[in-house]
Amino acid sequence: MTTAPGQVSVAQQGLRHPLDPDPARATKARAVFALGLLGMLTGLFIGGVVPATVALQLARQARREAYASGGFLTGSVWLRRGEWMAWAGLLLVAVSVVAAVVIGVVRLAGTPFGHDYPTNMD
């Protein structure tokens, strides 16, 4: 059962051809993990948006490449963990932005509006 022309069926698993490459870990998987970790660690400081977003984009590319390689690219565990950390970093960014907005609104509500004249003026 093939899904597109030129793809190898998942059901066909037999002896490996001698010219097939050895399974290797995808280099993007390690980059996704590192960027996800960086995004999670810097998420509260709002700087985690950039590495987390890049990690999620790289994860999409790495998954496509791993699927196209027919099982010769490994590292799906690193990809999954990196994606989870990137999403956690984006969640921390959202929490810190909401907290900053709430603090700003509360401080703005406590300040007097308009010009405050001295008591001896009408």
Question: pLDDT tens-digit profile of 73-116?
Answer: 888 899 999 999 999 999 999 999 999 999 999 998 887 777 77
10 Å CB burial of residue 54 (0-12, 13-18, 19+) is: middle
Is the pLDDT assigned to residue 9 strictly greater than 50? yes
Angle of helix 76-110 versus helix 49-68 axis, rounded to 10: 160
Is the pLDDT assigned to residue 69 strictly greater than 80? yes
Q: What is the mean pLDDT of the chain?
A: 85
pLDDT at residue 1, rounded to an integer: 47
- Asked if 75 contacts 66 with a C-beta cutoff of 8 angstroms, the reply is yes
Whole-prediction pTM: 0.73
Q: For residue 96, which of 27, 45, 59, 22 has the smallest C-alpha distance?
A: 45
